[in-house]
Amino acid sequence: MNYNFFVYILTNAHCQVLYTGVTNDLSRRMFEHKDDSLNEKKGFTGKYNCVYLVFWERFQYAEHAIAREKQIKGWTRKKKLELIRSFNPEFKFLNDEL
């Protein structure tokens, strides 16, 4: 079987905050983050309006995606920004490319 799991990084409009997450449905998850930011603001991304996708990686196995998410979450902001720029040199918001 071929499964899709994604590790992703979101930011806010001014690129001040970075959020790393994991999901099996990236489009649905982006919708959920945006909905939270516009409505109840229950989660971190809602409170800080982190709704702009700047990085993602696909994995076949959930365990690999979860391990990568944990790895990235342990990094410094500088290292996360280097990862984002290696994937997305112009630091464009990629939401419309899903």
The CATH number given to whatever domain includes residue 72 is: 3.40.1440
The structure tokens 């995606």 sit at 65
Strand locations in the chain (E): 5-11, 18-23, 52-59
Model pLDDT for residues 35-90, shown as the tens digit of each residue = 999 999 999 999 999 999 999 999 999 999 999 999 999 999 999 999 999 999 99
98, pLDDT greater than 90: no
Residues spanned by the domain of 39: 5-97
Q: For the chain, how many residues are written?
A: 98
Query: What's the burial of 14, exposed, middle or buried (CB within 10 Å: 0-12/13-18/19+)?
Result: exposed
Whole-model pTM: value is: 0.95
The structure tokens 């449905």 sit at 25
The residues facing 9 across adjacent strands are 20, 55
Contact 9, 84 (CB under 8 A): yes
The count of structural domains within the chain is 1
